[in-house]
Amino acid sequence: MNEFFSNEVGSSIEWFGTTHILIILGFIFLLLFIGFFGKKLSNKKTPEIVLRIFLIALVFVFEWNVFENRLLNTSIIRLPLCAVALYGLTYSVALKKEKAFKMFYFYWFGTIFTFLFFDTPFGLDRWSGWTYFGAHAMIGILVIYGLRVFRFIPTKIDLWVSMNVLAVYAMLSGYATFTYGGSDELFLKNPPVDFLNVLKDTSQILYTTVWVLFAALIMVIMYLPFVSKKK
């Protein structure tokens, strides 16, 4: 646990060990807490604004060094999907932009997988655990905040718009990765889990197709909770 709160990178934590389980439980608790009290804030202007400012400030605390590094060392179209979700949701919640929120909502599925199946030490060997999990937690918190406090409910049209925007972004990012090399933030060349290497070694087209279909399926699943509300 001491390693988790340090600023050192490259120190791993045990997968589904005590620290990892506590991180997952803490994340779930935060989402439930925001979800429960968020609805009560929807009609209270001043407390809502104060909490919103506090949450945006937390995003800067967790993400600023990462954001600065990306601007200096990485192309803007090499952002991982979680970064796209975090920056988009931060903008949407900070300024109460409903249309933007409904599009970026569908990109937060990566955060769920991050907490369950983090990659190399602390998810990425570039950041400390506090920065990595803290920034990803803010994605989930902003999503629940928008859903419960602002009552922004995504529609089927928002799902299709989100899919198309992600497809365009993925093509740009993929072109940059395959043409110029560098970081592969969308896992187009480097599978996130070992068993996918079988598909990658068999055919790049097959691997990419499976990865695209998986992402589309997850996004559809994320829309299902809202289907009954639309009826």
> Could you write out the DSSP letters of every residue in 132-161?
HHHHHHHHHHHHHHHHHTS-----HHHHHH
Distances (CA, A) of 75 to 70, 175, 224: 7, 12, 34
SS3 call for 8: coil
pLDDT band per the 50, 70, 90 thresholds, residue 139: very high
Share of the chain above pLDDT 90, in %: 37
Residue 155 has a CB neighbour count (10 Å cut-off) of: 12
CB 118 within 8 Å of CB 128 = no
Residues 132-138: what's their mean pLDDT? 88
Q: What are phi and psi of 120, to 5 degrees?
A: -75, 180
Residue 228 has a CB neighbour count (10 Å cut-off) of: 7
Residue 112 has pLDDT above 60, yes or no: yes
pLDDT in tens, 167-182: 988 888 888 777 776 6
Reference 59, options 127, 119, 142, 129; nearest CA is: 142
Q: What is the pTM of this model?
A: 0.84
Model pLDDT, residue 120: 47
Amino acid found at 211? W
pLDDT band per the 50, 70, 90 thresholds, residue 122: very low
Distances (CA, A) of 142 to 23, 27, 95, 160, 201: 18, 12, 12, 21, 38
- Tokens linked to 224: 């299902």
pLDDT in tens, 180-217: 766 666 777 777 777 778 888 888 888 888 888 988 99
